[in-house]
Amino acid sequence: MLKVRATAHDHACEHGHPPADALAFAETRCAERRLKLTPIRREVLEHLAASSAPVGAYDLIERMHGASGRRPAPITVYRALDFLLEAGLAHRIESRNAFIACAHRHDRSDLVVFMICDACGCVSEAPAASVQRDLDKIAQGAGFRPASQVVEMFGRCAHCG
C-alpha cells in the first residue's frame, strides 16, 4: 500500500477548505438524504477537510490517534471512508490510494478532474461535464458500459509553477 504524506507548503490548496464548512455541508447532505453522519464519519471527514493533500487510511488512523489518543481499527476508518465516498462527501485519488474531502457541491456521479501537484502534493478538483459527455460517447460507440470514470492529471499547481 502506498503511504501518502501531506507535504508542507506555504499556500492554500483549493480543496483545503475549513473543516467546519465540510461538516456543515455533510450535515445538510445527510439530512436531505436521510443518512447518518456518525461521530467516526464526522471525525474522518474533519481530518480529510483539514488536510492540504490526499490522506491514506492508515495516515488517517495516525492523525486520529494523535488528536484523540485513541486508535480506531482500520475497518472502522475504511467503513467511514466508504460512507463518505458513497454520500459524495469525499473522493478517492486512485493513483495515490488516498482520499480528500470534496471541494465542490456536485453529484456523486458527476465526473471530476483531479489536478495533482507533483511538487507540493495538493489536489484541486474541477467538474468536467464536457469531458464526461465525450467519454460517454466514446464508451457508447464501443458498446462499453463503464463502472467508473476517473481523470487525474499530474503537473505543477499555480503556486509551485
User: Is 102 annotated as contributing to ligand binding?
Assistant: no
pLDDT for the residue 1: 31
Task: Supply the angle between the helices 57-68 and 39-50 in degrees, to the nearest 10.
Answer: 100
What residues contact 68, with CB distance under 8 A and at least 6 apart?
43
- Enter the pTM of the model: 0.83
Q: Positive or negative CA dihedral for 73, 103, 29, 88? A: negative
- Which residue, among 78, 85, 86, has the nearest Cα to 61 in the 3D structure? 78
Domain ranges of the chain: 19-155
The C-alpha cell 470514470 sits at 149
- For residues 12 and 135, the model is more confident at 135
End-to-end CA distance of the chain: 29
User: Is 120 annotated as contributing to ligand binding?
Assistant: yes
Q: State the CB neighbour count (10 A cutoff) for residue 45.
A: 26
- CB burial string 113-140: b at 16+ within 10 A, e below: ebbbbeebbbbbbeebeeebeeeeeeee
User: Is 30 annotated as contributing to ligand binding?
Assistant: no
**Residue range 22-39, pLDDT digits in tens:** 888 999 999 999 999 999
Q: Does domain 19-155 have CATH number 1.10.10.10?
A: yes
**Residue range 103-157, pLDDT digits in tens:** 777 777 789 999 999 999 999 999 899 999 999 999 999 999 988 888 999 999 9
pLDDT-derived band at 52, boundaries 50, 70, 90:
confident
Q: State the CB neighbour count (10 A cutoff) for residue 56.
A: 19
Cα distance between residue 159 and residue 14, in whole Å:
11
The C-alpha cell 458527476 sits at 110
